[in-house]
Structure 1
Amino acid sequence: MDLQLLAALVLGIATIVVIVLRTRMDAFFALLVAALVTGFVAGEPATKVIDAITTGFGNTLGSIGIVIGLGVGLGKILEVSGAADALAKAFVKALGKGREPWAMGGTGAVVSIPVFCDSGYVIMNPLARSIARRKRAGYVTLALALGCGMTLTHHLVPPTPGPLGVAGILGADLGGLVLAGLVFALLLLPVVVLYARWIGPRLEDRLLPEVREAVYGKEGEEQQGEERDPAAALGPAPEGAKPHRMSAWTAFLPLLVPLALIIANTVATAVDQNAQDAVGDEKKYDPSPLAEALSFVGNPVVALLIGLVLAVYVLLPRWTTRTQVGGWLSEAAASAGLIILITGAGGALGEVLRASGVGDEMAEAIASWSLPGVLVPFLIASLVRLAQGSGTVAMITAASVSAPLVAGLGISPLLAALACCAGSMVFSYFNDSYFWVVTRFAGLDGVAALKGWSGITTAVWLGSLPLLLVGSAVL
């Protein structure tokens, strides 16, 4: 491997670590400085480095920035209306005490099959907060289980874009990949829950103060001997107004509708494309009117806009004023600002790493090593993921490099596809935009973020290795 590119990767990562852990500057600043360091050490012209930073920042925020803003606004309305608390009560009652991490991990895995994990996490995080608020503990455990449950199916199960692309590049049977990916996700879910239960209590006292207060309330509230009113922010009802009560189904509506619309979009598009393929239509895909309509309302931005409107007009009582709603949404926007900036900066660093050729160089190097067949695509995906942050890019890069090698490696296209997908889960850290989404919502920073989120993603990556070795004997 080119030593200059290796040095660029190492120094870029070291820059983030030193700034985040040893200075007064925050992660947004660290990521931008690391992007500059990486680009310059790699020998890229200054203008190209700046172009990569702005392109990566813009592309990342173009896909997730609006979703984060809308999701945080939706979460705020769920919180102040008492809807999140009503959901938490119903959730805990249905599943029983002590099973909340399993419920969060499983819910995350189901939601993330048709929905990008970034969007799904933002939508479902208020539920984790409400359950933790009612238990007065355990938020880190629930936040990590939810986030990593989403990681499993996002990386392993079509129709998420990464696995779909891998199946196409390697010629793997899509139905077989769906089934095998679901089996892998089911077998890896216990790893998620056990790691979250182990590390969560150890990191609970490391919660950022603002997140601790948002989840549990101000210090001392739990010692007042009275249960906190979940809808206290609404203020007293006017004389003669009906008391503000809410069922769990009503509370779930602003979450259910966006998720259902996004799922409907995914299913309709897949069915429509398969129907055109079945009749041998080789022209560019032309969506049917129904698929086109669902692709609009099922876009995460439009779906969350609909969810936010439902939250404001269904969850809040009629006597809620425009000033109150505007104030809550302003608070939500303020809290979302830093998350959005950090997420965009992570995308900027990833774009610099891609533009400088670090990921491609590492992939070519690992492909030349003498390894058991299934480990070649697995390690290519792992190293590319470490180099540039995006799991989707990592698995597609690994599939592209591995495609000419599959026959010689003695493995099936399906097994190679699983290896690419599983390898891309390794050690989510500073250059992964989802790292910042999860850790900021979970309230973890610095070493605590690495132990919690980077650790749990590495645990499932390690857990997938024996499954691949077993799979090599049967697939």
Structure 2
Amino acid sequence: MDLQLLLALVLGIATIVVLVLRTRLDAFVALLVAALLTGTVAGSAPTDTLDSIVAGFGSTLGSIGIVIGLGVAVGKILEVSGAADALAKAFVRALGRGREPWAMGGTGALVSIPVFCDSGYVIMNPLARSIARRRRGGYVTLALALGCGMTLTHHLVPPTPGPLAVAGIVGADLGGFILVGLVFTLVLLPVVVAYARWVGPRLEGRVTSEVREAVYGRAAGAGAGAGTAVLEEDQPRGAASDRRGGERDDAAAEEDPAAALGEPPAGAGPHRVGTLRAFLPLLVPLALIVANTVATAVDRNAQGVLSGDEGYDPSGPVAVLAFLGNPVVALIIGVVIAVYGLLPRWTTRDQVSGWLAQAAASAGLIILITGAGGALGQVLRDSGVGQELADAVASLALPGVLVPFLIATLVRLAQGSGTVAMITAASVSAPLVDDLGLAPLAAALACCAGSMVLSYFNDSYFWVVTRFTGLEGTAALQGWSGITTAVWAGSIPLVLVAGAVL
């Protein structure tokens, strides 16, 4: 192991931790400073480091920046129209009380099979907020369960691009990979829910004031932080009845998400959004993205192109779905459906512009920090730290199936991207599969499971989840980094079993 590269990695991580936790600088500046320091210590020329920062920032935002902006816009319209509240009521009614974290984790896992977890989280987060608003608490538990449910299938189940590429590199059977990846997901989902339920109440009081107010409203913001709120139907009948008057009515009126619509004109009647109509701005984009993913995967397989764009040429209906199912196009459609399908006719153009401006303002910092995380990851990749770690681990005497697992783990720690980590591990491990006595499917699962470890500062998804959840500093590490490490640790026995059985 090159000590200079190891020192660069350690100093970069330490810089982020110190600046975020001990200074007045925010995460955006801390990530950029760490990227500059890491590149310099690793021996890169200053201009090369700057080029890596610009390239990483641009490529990250090119893939997720527009999606975040559009997703936040959909969420804002869902909120002010009352549609998010309607969805929450339907969700709680269908699942029964006390099962909301399971619902969030399961929904996240399902959505993230065809959709990048960054995009899926932005699309589905308003639902978690609405359920928490109705429960008057528990938002952190729901947000973490949703985010980590998405992490499971994003890392373990094709046709998500990372696992799909790994299957192609190591020669794993794609159908078997999907089935075993789903089994891994089902076994690990209880770990997600258990950790979210354990850590959520402990962190509820540390949610930032801006997110707390956005979730619970001004009236409920202070009281919702203790993590002890319950659904109204969970209370004794008399207590619920007593609260229906007086100050409860005032609080409900103040935090009514549809209050911003204003009074309807005479004869228009109250504005109500049905459950099906409320689902459309979420359902249509997701359906388009799913259709695109499935159709493209089938078409790629027919053409013999399992990963990458070289040699693949979609045509006919697949090309149309590839356009409509692109997350950017799908979410533009979602915004149009939300604005024209959820808002009442008396809504003015100025009102809609104002709400979309508020959404853009709330997305701005998330986008900047996400891009800075991508910049740091690019510097770490270009400096050679990830490849150096991978080569070092491959030379160790370990149980065969743990070699790709640990390679993916260390590469993930070094540069942040789970997709890059699993693809790097697959590339390094592929020539070793026969020598290690591994089935290609076991090696592929090990690469993907190892890449789930410790999502933290250099992972763009870390910033998406923690900023939307309202967690900062050590609370973000305890919540999000902790839950991703928990599922990584839970996957180790499964990987060992896969190595022995497959």
> Which of 287, 290, 294 matches 1:263?
290
1:299 and 2:326 are equivalent in the alignment: yes
Letter in structure 2 aligned against 1:79: E
Give, in whole Å, the separation in 2 of the partners of 1:289 and 1:364: 43
> Aligned-pair distance for 1:284?
2.8
Cα distance change of structure 1 residues 373 and 327 upon mapping to structure 2, 3 Å threshold: same
Gaps of 5+ in 2: 224-245
TM-superposed CA distance for 1:134, in Å, is 0.3
Q: Deviations over 1:8-59 (max 9, x none)?
A: 0000000000000000110000000000010000011000000000000000
| 1:379 equivalent in structure 2 | 406
1:57-106 Cα deviation digits (max 9, x unpaired)? 00000000000000001100000000000000000000001000000000
Aligned pair in 2 of structure 1 residues 135, 277: CA closer, same or farther (>3 Å)? Answer: same
Aligned pairs for 1:193-212 (under 5 A) are 193-212=193-212
What residue number does 1:83 align with? 83
Matches of 1:32 and 1:2, distance apart in 2: 24
Contact 1:56 1:349 in 2 (8 A): yes
What corresponds to 1:424 in structure 2?
451
- Alignment correspondent of 1:45: 45
Pairwise CA distance, 1:239: 1.2
Give CA deviations for 1:424-463 in whole Å, capped at 9, x if unaligned: 0000000000000000001000000000000000000000
Aligned pairs for 1:21-170 (under 5 A) are 21-170=21-170
Query: Deviation digits for residues 169-212 of structure 1, max 9, x if unmatched?
Result: 10111111111100001100000000000000000000010000
Structure 1 segment 343-422 matched on structure 2, within 5 A: 343-422=370-449
Would the aligned equivalents of 2:136 and 2:220 in 1 still touch at CA under 8 Å? no
Give the Å deviation of 1:250: 0.6
Shift of 1:368: 0.6
Kept in 2, the 8 Å contact 1:76–1:329? The answer is yes
2:304 and 2:54 mapped to 1: Cα distance? 38
Task: Report the residue type matching 1:147 in the other structure.
Answer: G
Cα separation, 2, equivalents of 1:255 and 1:89: 16
Post-superposition offset of 1:277: 4.1
Checking the alignment, whether the CA contact within 8 Å between 1:272 and 1:288 is kept in structure 2 is no
Superposed CA deviations along residues 130-175 of structure 1, whole A, max 9, x for unmatched, are 0000000000000000000000000000011110111111011111
Alignment partners' CA distance in 1, 2:49 and 2:301: 41
CA contact (8 A) 2:11 2:37 kept: yes
Deviation at 1:472, TM superposition (A): 1.9
1:443 corresponds in structure 2 to 470
Q: Structure 1 stretch 239-248 or stretch 156-165: which is displaced more?
A: 239-248
CA distance in 2 between partners of 1:205 and 1:326 (Å)? 33
Residue 214 (structure 1) aligns with: 214
CA distance in 2, matches of 1:175, 1:191: 25
Task: Report % sequence identity.
Answer: 79
TM-score, normalization: structure 2?
0.92
1: distance between equivalents of 2:163 and 2:383?
25
Deviation, 1:289, is 1.0
Which amino acid is the alignment partner of residue 392 of structure 1?
A: T
Partner amino acid, structure 2, of 1:234: L
State the distance in 1 between where 2:259 and 2:174 align.
Answer: 50
Q: Secondary structure at the match of 1:353?
A: helix
Query: What is the CA–CA distance in structure 2 between the aligned matches of 1:148 and 1:215, rounded to whole Å?
Result: 20
Q: Name the residue aligned to 1:224.
A: 247
Structure 1 partner of 2:344: 317
Task: State the Cα distance separating 1:286 from its structure 2 match.
Answer: 2.6
Q: Give the drift of 1:121.
A: 0.2
Counterparts of 1:20 and 1:275, CA distance in 2: 49
Q: Per-residue deviation at 1:271?
A: 2.1
TM-score by length of structure 1 reads 0.98
SS for the counterpart of 2:218 is coil
SS of corresponding position for 1:218? helix
**Other-structure match for 2:480:** 453
How many residues of Structure 1 are paired with residues of Structure 2 in the alignment? 471
- Pairwise CA distance, 1:276: 3.4
Partners of 1:16 and 1:286 in 2: how far apart? 42
Q: Is the 8 A contact 1:64 1:119 kept in 2?
A: yes
Structure 2 residue 494 is matched with structure 1 residue 471: no
Code of the residue aligned with 1:401 in structure 2: it is V
Shift of 1:274: 2.8
Q: CA deviation at 1:470?
A: 1.6
Cα offset, 1:220, TM superposition: 5.1
**Take 2:220 and 2:50, find their aligned partners in 1: how far apart are those partners?**
48
The residue aligned with 2:227 is: none
Answer yes or no: is the 8 Å Cα contact 1:419–1:468 preserved in 2.
yes
The separation in 2 between residues aligned to 1:426 and 1:462, in whole angstroms, is 8
| Cα deviation, residue 246, structure 1 | 1.3
What residue ranges of structure 1 are gaps of 5+ in the alignment?
none
Secondary structure at the counterpart of residue 75 of structure 2: helix
8 Å CA contact 2:176, 2:441 repeated in 1: yes
Amino acid in structure 2 at the alignment position of 1:225: R
Give the superposition deviation at 1:389.
0.3
1:66 partner letter? I
Task: Report the Cα distance in structure 1 between the residues aligned to 2:220 and 2:353, rounded to whole angstroms.
Answer: 29
Q: Is the 8 A contact 1:155 1:424 kept in 2?
A: yes
CA contact (8 A) 1:77 1:328 kept: yes
Task: Give the superposed CA RMSD.
Answer: 1.2
1:187 and 2:187 aligned: yes
Say which is worse superposed, 299-308 or 261-270, in terms of deviation: 261-270
